[in-house]
Structure 1
Amino acid sequence: MEQLGERLRRYRREARKTLLEVAREAGLSVGFLSQAERNLSGVSLSSLANIARALNVPLRLLIDQPEQRSPDSHAGRRRRYSTIDRGQSYERLSSTFPGSQINAVKMSLPVGYRSESVTHDGDEFVYVLSGKVCYCVDGIDYLLQPGDSLHFDGRQQHHLANVGEVAVEVVSVGTLPIFDDIAAAPAP
C-alpha cells in the first residue's frame, strides 16, 4: 500500500512542480515538505488540505478518510485514521452536506507531539478534552488544559504541541475544507 509521502511525491511530479513551488503555495517550508515526502514527518490535516490545493487534486487522493454520511456520530463507532504512523490520530465528527461549512475532528496527540507551523483560510476552534496542549498563534502561546478552548483566524501562523506527560485529546472545528467526500443528499 502506498504511504502518504509516496502519494505526495507522485502527485507533485504529475503536477510538474518542484518542492519549492508546492511548499510556497501550501505555506510550508521546503524542508518540511521534503520530510513529509520521505515519510519522516507527520502532516496535519490543514497542511494536507493546503498541499492538495497546491497540487490541484482532491484531498481524498492524498489520505483515506472515513466518510460520515449520517449527521450523528457515536463514540466507539468512529474509525480512527492518521496522516502517518507517528502516534497522532483523528476521528471524524462531522458529516458533509450541500452547503455545510464546518469540519470537526477529534485529535489524539502523543506525548512529545509537535505539529508543523501552518496557515490556512478560515476559522479554527479547539476544545481540550484531556492533557495539556500549547497552541502558538501569531507568536503568542496559549496553554490549554481540559475544558479550555481557543478560537482564532487560521490565516495566522500557528502550530501546536503536546506539552504534558500524557496523550492529548482535542476537538478541532474549522471552516477549512478537510473533508472532500461526496456530500450526502439532504434528508427528505
Structure 2
Amino acid sequence: MVEELVFNVGRKLRKVRGELGLSLRQLSEKVAVSPSTIQKIESNQISPTLATVLRIAKGLGKEIQFFLDQQHEPTSVVFIPKKHRQRIKAPDLNFGIELLTDGLSDQRFSPLILSVPPGGKRGSHLRHRGEELQHCISGKVEFTIRGKKYLLRQGDTLHFKSDIRHRWVNVGKRAAKLLMICSPPLHIGRNSNEK
C-alpha cells in the first residue's frame, strides 16, 4: 500500500513534468524543492514527506489528492521524451536501468535499457513469471540459461521464458547496452516480481 502510494507520486510527478516540458531545474524553481529531491521522488528512490508533496502540488496548481489518489486514470498513449526517462539507481545493482515507458493502462510489458559496465552482471540465477526479450544494442553480454551459454553481440536477440533460471554478465572490455522487454511488466520502484 505505502509502496504503491510512493510509486504513484513519482509516476504522476514525472508525467506532469513531461506534459509541461519542464526540466528538473525549472520544476525545482516552480515548486521550491531541490532538483535532486525531485529526481529521487520520480525514480522512487525516496519517499517524499507530506509537506514536500503539498509544496509540489501547490506549485503545480494541483490538489494534493492528485498525487495521493491511487486510482489510475486510463491512458492509451504515453510519450516520454528521452530527457524525461526514469533512471533507476539501486545500490545493489552494478548496472544502470532506464525505464522507456510506464503508465499505459493495462500495460502488458516493460521496456528497459540496461547499461552494463565491463564485468557488470546479474549474477544470481533469476526466475520470474512471463517472458523476456534481450536485444544487444552494443557490447558483448553472455547469458546463461539452463547451463547453456548464449553470447549476444550488437544486433543479437535472445527471447526466453523467464521462469527458467537465467543470469548474465558483460564479458566485453567496453560498456554494453541491452534493450530488455519483460512481460508481464516489472514494477520498478514497487515490489519487483523477481525471485
What is the alpha-carbon distance in structure 1 between the residues aligned to residue 145 and residue 92 of structure 2? 26
SS at match of 2:154: coil
TM-score, normalising length from structure 2? 0.55
What is the alpha-carbon distance in structure 1 between the residues aligned to residue 8 and residue 113 of structure 2? 16
Aligned pair 1:175/2:174, yes or no? no
Q: Bigger radius of gyration, 1 or 2?
A: 2
1:119 matched residue in structure 2: 127
Aligned pair 1:106/2:113, yes or no? yes
What is the alpha-carbon distance in structure 2 between the residues aligned to residue 151 and residue 137 of structure 1? 11
Q: CA deviation at 1:164?
A: 0.1
SS at match of 2:155: coil
Unmatched segments (≥5 aa) in structure 2: 16-76, 191-195
1:141 matched residue in structure 2: 149
> Which protein has the bigger helix share?
2
Unmatched segments (≥5 aa) in structure 1: 1-55, 183-188
Alignment of 1:148-159 (within 5 A): 148-159=156-167
Q: CA deviation at 1:73?
A: 3.0
Between stretches 95-104 and 128-137, larger displacement belongs to 95-104
SS at match of 2:132: strand
Q: CA deviation at 1:96?
A: 2.4
1:84 matched residue in structure 2: 91
Is contact 2:95–2:121 with CA below 8 Å preserved after alignment? no
1:160 matched residue in structure 2: 168
> Which protein has the bigger strand share?
2
SS at match of 2:82: coil
What is the alpha-carbon distance in structure 2 between the residues aligned to residue 60 and residue 127 of structure 1? 33
What is the alpha-carbon distance in structure 1 between the residues aligned to residue 142 and residue 5 of structure 2? 29
What is the alpha-carbon distance in structure 1 between the residues aligned to residue 138 and residue 9 of structure 2? 24
Q: CA deviation at 1:84?
A: 1.4
Q: CA RMSD in A?
A: 3.1
**1:108–1:73 Cα change, 3 Å:** same
SS at match of 2:159: strand
1:96 matched residue in structure 2: 103
TM-score, normalising length from structure 1? 0.57
Is contact 2:78–2:104 with CA below 8 Å preserved after alignment? no
Aligned pair 1:132/2:125, yes or no? no
Identity of aligned residues (%): 25
Aligned pair 1:72/2:76, yes or no? no
